[in-house]
């Protein structure tokens, strides 16, 4: 029964990919869905790209164990900061200016906004370096679940997931991933609610579970009774860093911001904001809320031997076969949707920002799409190989690089991108300084971690600080570096003043006619 459900699920994904081939004939269609993607598809694509097996199995288990029920704050932060505020502050302006500048990737945006090919090349290299290990990490959360549900070796799980994702992404491009993300998002919403109810029921219900959690003590953490059932948990400061990294980080991740490039019109932005926020509240809030009860299963969990990734699978191992099948599909959905988003971003960036014009001159639309499709295969293969290497050996460097990739990407791009949408005073030098500062800081965190202050030895804390410092670095460096050319800046910001019935800063969409 479980295997049959998986086969049906895979068949639907591939069918959608083949159906969407007609929308993926040029770069705009393949990478952005023709900039004509509605609110539901965009909101679900945003949410499913946001939350993967890394969150459900890794972060939810680890932070739920460390902070108890207070870990739910991370999910609330993901909904309010990572979704609601991201859409409100970035959504409309990103859609308007990226179309005006005819940019399909974040590096293209930096090049055309600041008139600098160096910004495009450096940002492309940063994306290439840090998205690959992040992509590889998506496989990790599936290993224990597949072994628990199907007794399938992790290597086969990696290969199956990689091949199926490659088929529907290569065939249908962004539109195929958006439609599949919608289906996967429905599974994630429904599955999260059912799983939380089932796990809590196994411990006597919500109130009994909360009461049991209040009785848990861990002298290694604190002697305060009921700390894992408290409002802010045993370590509020480190929990705050988790909230900042996992919530504010989405503002600077290329695969997340790119969702705003493709949305269709003004009404879609407004509706997408609400849908995305509610999705994050249920899925992310549910993940961390569920993980907060992990210590109720401490008699079955050996953290020192099996690590934090064993917590969630152990909590779910006593469910019925049907619910376990639902869990596997839920986590598989989360991981495949994020994987598809990452490989499209990586391959489009490498093709449009490094290969086109710099390596291959006069690259036609057809050749660009072929190159993007080829690189999707390459990136998926590399990520699968990295995941297999980590699984088959004791290599830890890959895992460390996965941990810093989010902080490096968001730290490098968040401040330059956001300020560039709003301020005419931002300079290309300030962007370059932010790029280099954050990426080098996170690389240094890998190799020289013992020399960092104690609070910054955690890649999570270091990544959060990189993002916050970027918000200070860009305006400060902009004050002391050469100002951008007035004509170039005015041309970039002219998009907000184009009028139809009202300024585009108040309404956008294909239904209006520019004058």
Residue of 290, 251, 342 whose CA lies nearest to 45: 342
Q: Does the pLDDT of residue 48 top 80, yes or no?
A: yes
pLDDT tens digit sequence for 472-486: 999 999 999 999 888
* More confident: 149 or 273: 273
Q: Does the pLDDT of residue 186 top 50, yes or no?
A: yes
CA distance 82 to 76: 9
- Residues of the chain with pLDDT > 90, as a percent, come to 31
Domains in the chain (CATH in brackets) are 2-381 (1.20.1730.10)
CA distance 34 to 308: 42
pLDDT of residue 514: 45
CA distance 44 to 29: 19
Mean pLDDT of all residues in 50-76? 87
Predicted TM-score (pTM) of the model is 0.87
pLDDT tens digit sequence for 241-297: 999 999 998 999 998 898 888 888 778 888 999 999 999 999 999 999 999 998 888
Tokens found for residue 50: 């946001």
The region of weakest confidence among 10-19, 327-336, 364-373, 451-460 is 327-336
Residues 6+ apart with CB under 8 A from 169: 17, 176, 177, 340, 343, 344, 376
Are the CB atoms for 325 and 2 separated by under 8 Å?
Answer: yes
For residue 217, count CB atoms less than 10 angstroms from its CB and return exposed for 0-12, middle for 13-18, buried for 19 or more.
middle
pLDDT of residue 147: 66
Q: If pLDDT is split at 50, 70 and 90, which confidence band does 1 have?
A: low
Residue of 266, 16, 254 whose CA lies nearest to 135: 254
Highest mean pLDDT of the ranges 153-157, 220-224, 411-415, 460-464: 411-415
């Amino acid at each position: 029964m479980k295997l049959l459900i998986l086969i049906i699920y895979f068949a639907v994904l591939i069918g959608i990919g083949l159906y969407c081939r007609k929308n993926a004939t040029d770069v705009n269609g393949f990478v952005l869905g023709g900039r004509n993607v509605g609110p539901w598809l965009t909101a679900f694509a945003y949410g499913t790209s946001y939350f993967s097996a890394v969150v459900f199995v890794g972060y939810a288990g680890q932070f739920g164990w460390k902070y108890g029920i207070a870990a739910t704050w991370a999910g609330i932060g993901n909904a309010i900061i990572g979704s609601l505020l991201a859409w409100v502050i970035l959504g409309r302006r990103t859609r308007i200016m990226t179309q005006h500048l005819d940019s399909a990737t974040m590096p293209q945006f930096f090049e055309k906004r600041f008139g600098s090919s160096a910004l495009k090349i450096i940002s492309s290299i940063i994306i290439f370096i840090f998205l690959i290990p992040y992509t590889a990490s998506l496989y990790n959360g599936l290993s224990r679940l597949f072994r628990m549900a199907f007794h399938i070796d992790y290597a086969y799980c990696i290969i199956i997931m990689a091949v199926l994702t490659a088929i529907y992404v290569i065939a249908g491009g962004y539109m195929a991933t958006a439609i599949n993300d919608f289906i996967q998002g429905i599974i994630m919403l429904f599955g999260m609610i059912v799983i939380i109810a089932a796990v809590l029921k196994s411990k006597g219900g919500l109130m009994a579970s909360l009461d049991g959690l209040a009785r848990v003590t861990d002298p290694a953490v604190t002697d305060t009774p009921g700390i894992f059932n408290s409002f802010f948990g045993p370590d509020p400061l480190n929990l705050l860093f988790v909230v900042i990294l996992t919530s504010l980080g989405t503002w600077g991740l290329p695969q997340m911001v790119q969702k705003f490039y493709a949305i269709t019109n003004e009404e879609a932005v407004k509706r997408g904001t609400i849908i995305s926020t509610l999705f994050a509240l249920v899925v992310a809030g549910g993940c961390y809320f569920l993980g907060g009860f992990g210590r109720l299963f401490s008699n079955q969990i050996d953290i020192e031997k099996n690590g934090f990734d064993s917590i969630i699978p152990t909590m779910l191992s006593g469910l019925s076969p049907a619910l376990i099948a639902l869990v596997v599909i839920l986590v598989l959905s989360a991981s495949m949707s994020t994987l598809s988003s990452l490989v499209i971003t990586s391959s489009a960036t490498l093709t449009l920002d490094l290969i086109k014009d710099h390596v291959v001159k006069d690259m036609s639309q057809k050749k660009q799409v072929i190159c993007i499709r080829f690189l999707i295969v390459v990136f998926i293969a590399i990520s699968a190989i990295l995941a297999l290497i980590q699984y088959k050996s004791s290599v830890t460097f890959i895992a460390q690089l996965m941990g810093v990739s989010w902080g490096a990407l968001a730290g490098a791009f968040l401040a330059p991108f956001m300020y560039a949408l709003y301020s005419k005073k931002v300079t290309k030098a300030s962007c370059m300084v932010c790029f280099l500062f954050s990426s080098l800081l996170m690389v240094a965190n890998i190799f020289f971690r013992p020399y960092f202050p104690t609070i910054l030895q955690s890649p999570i804390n270091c990544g959060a600080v990189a993002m916050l410092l970027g918000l200070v670095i860009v305006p400060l460096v902009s004050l002391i570096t050469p100002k951008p050319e007035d004509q170039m800046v005015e041309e970039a910001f002219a998009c907000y003043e184009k009028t139809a019935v009202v300024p585009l800063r108040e309404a956008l969409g294909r239904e209006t006619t520019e004058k």
